[in-house]
Chains A and B, each alone.
Chain A
Amino acid sequence: MTAMSYETRERLILSLRYALLILIAAIFIFPILFMVMSSLKPDLQLLRDSASLRAFLPVGDISLNNYADAFERVPILRFAFNSAFTTAVSVGASILLNSMAAFSFAFLQWRGKAVVLSLIIATFIVPFEVVAIPMLLIVNNLPWIGPQGIEIGWLNSYHVQIIPFIADSLGIFLFYQYFRDLPDELVEAARIDGASIWQIYTRIIMPIAGPILATVAILKFLVMWNAYLWPLMTIRSEELRPIMVGLQYFFQLNIAWGEIMAYLSMVTIPVLIFYLALQRAFIESIATSGIKG
């Protein structure tokens, strides 16, 4: 084999590799492109274009009318605030609580630890839909201190959208897996130096847990931002509704497809921003500790 033919072969392989990567990227990008382009078109044109390549191009009667109409139909800012608030509080609380639980499993010695951890991991296989109704009945009978004193029932509130989702078996498992792979010397050295458990958690472990923090934050963010079934069951008032329930506002007798695409485009932007902001740590987390299944 000549040097030239070897170089050609390498180029060919490289080209094929790039072609494959471009194809995979296209598979992920085209739905987003379709969504954004469709959001600029009137309904009938959108539907007519959907069977051709025009669906991915800004052609025809292009405008921002769908965005304006979507704002008129749905209180988007209110819903976005509700989702942002419940998501931010849940992500923050979830990281704190679940990392503390995982720290306990990884570094503290207490009776029954293995059994409890197994039980927590076992809850992975229970889908949310299975526990939704029992959860509804439970939160409907829980007390809460409101403006008029102690009230029974959490329905129609922010806290019913947050508290049940703070403790999270996947979060605990991910933190635990990451902590377990850290060198024992780190903790032992700190103990020898007289550090308390709280100091080890806050000053030794958490400062080096950036990648797993990002992973748990992203996963929790997605779950909370996309919350649909639970708010549907527990929220009556429009003032407290999250953004994903708002999507249903467009499914009338005559479905407003263009507005749906505009709404989805707006809803997707925060997710992309959040992911892009944390992607380096997210990828590092997968590459190092690994979600090894």
Chain B
Amino acid sequence: MKKAVSLLVVVIMLITFSGLASAQTELSLWYHGAGNATERAILIGIIDDFNASQSDYTVALEEFPQESYNSSIVAAALAEDLPDIIDVDGPVMPGWAWAGYMAPLNLSEGALDDFLPGAIGSWNGEVYSVGLWDAAVAIYARRSVLEANDIRIPTLDDPWTGDEFDGILETLQATGEFEYAFDPGMAWKGEWYNYAFTPFLQSFGGDMIDRSTYLSAEGVLNGEAGIAFGNWWQSLFERGLAPGTSQDGADRETGFIDGKYALQWNGNWAGVTSLAEVGDDLLFLPAPDFGNGSIIGAASWQFGISSSSENKEGANAFIEFAIQDEYLAAFSDGIGLIPSTSGAAAISEYYSEGGLLEVFFELSNRQALVRPVTPGYATMGLIVEKALADIANGADVQDTLDAAVDEIEQDIEDNGGYGFEM
């Protein structure tokens, strides 16, 4: 009997201690990078380091393909099955926060002091997400082409003016050496249109919506500046300076490299490939200034916390751990994107002083403007994208922008202002 009692005590102790040994709370992390071995290796390295750095939490990674990631998140939200930590594309974040999928971050004071503005996802006065990198757009050009045509090389402090840029396009087109002087990337349908082209609109002085209220686009999208932008935009295609919406996707990928296009509007993610093909002759130039500064888009993928997480403290701890400079630099070195802090840029391969893509960090730092920070962006983006395509295809500028304004405002009204006071 005594033996039996002793055995029972031992069994109970074993069960108890094995329970204690596995008392770490598991945090689920969903990530959009399935299929990218480099991203996966870096992220798993961060997770392993985090798991080893403390004893309260372990992070478990589930990867999803980027193209379908948002659908998976929405389905999980419907099924009330969201993970603790999610990553979210910058312009999508306000929608998910408004829909109640996400909770605000609670990072240490000063944790984001050195961050690029585009890498911080704020909505409604709170930070909901933070990016381990950002992306930027520049004009790709060949030094030899500019010099041969007596075109000055613009700088961050002294970019081309709108008129100057327009004249340069005419000059390059007139050489007859190029099929088109400028490739804005019309073949890349979808979010590229808003991310890449609405900064031109903003440089003219317009915008997709009045950011002081986020309730109206009247006079902003279809005001004087908006119309001026629309006329210039349409003229690019009417004058044959740029390929239109029927541009072949293959030409978009190879046209500049092969010399079909003199200038190309492209992102930093294409920088390394283009450098390998074009070599030292390649220049990355700032956006033209149409009167209200050189402006480019901002905000890429960022980490946030789901509102349904029962382990928000742990999720915050992981995110704060992941945004250390060494990890930001590792991501940048691995996938070529812009590190989110100057500290990380300084130790990164491409963005440190003298690095091949150094200029993009400053572009992102000085010219970036995030897309409208509103849950309504998802619909607004589709409307503006269509308007940009229609204008490029010859639609009446004023009518098209007026119609876009009506649609945007109707959507805002239908959704009760998307959280903004009407």
Q: Which of A's residues lie within 8 Å of B, judged by CB?
A: 43-44, 47-48, 50-51, 72-74, 133, 136-137, 140, 153, 155, 229, 232-234, 236-238, 245-246, 248-254
Contact = CB atoms under 8 A, between A and B. Distances in A.
A238 B273 CA distance: 30
Given A47-B254, A250-B35, A252-B35, 6 more contacts: A44-B277, A48-B258, A72-B37, A133-B78, A153-B81, A248-B35
A48 B269 contact: no
Interface stretch (B62-70, B112-120, B215-223): B62-70
B36 interface: yes
A238 B68 contact: no
B5 interface: no
Contact of B66 (A47, A72, A251): A251
A232 B34 contact: no
Interface string B72-85: 10011011110000
Nearest to B80: A140
A232 B68 contact: yes
Contacts of B34: 238, 248-249
B8 interface: no
Interface residues of B, number: 33
A161 to B, nearest CB: 14
A232 B270 CA distance: 29
Interface string B38-70: 000000000000000000000000110111100
B255 to A, nearest CB: 10
Q: Majority SS of interface residues in chain A?
A: helix
B65 A251 contact: yes
A140 to B, nearest CB: 4
Given A44-B253, A73-B35, A73-B37, A140 B79 contact: yes
A44 B277 CA distance: 10
A236 B67 contact: no
Nearest to B69: A248
Nearest to A141: B79
B209 interface: no
14 contacts: A44-B254, A44-B277, A51-B250, A136-B75, A136-B78, A137-B79, A232-B68, A236-B30, A238-B62, A246-B65, A248-B65, A249-B35, A251-B66, A251-B67
Interface of B: 30, 34-37, 62-63, 65-68, 71-72, 75-76, 78-81, 248-251, 253-254, 257-258, 267, 269-270, 273, 277, 335
A273 to B, nearest CB: 26
Contacts of A74: 35
Nearest to A230: B75
A48 B76 contact: no
A105 to B, nearest CB: 35
A248 B67 CA distance: 6
B115 to A, nearest CB: 21
B62 A233 contact: no
A73 B63 CA distance: 13
Contacts of B71: 229, 232-233
B35 A137 contact: no
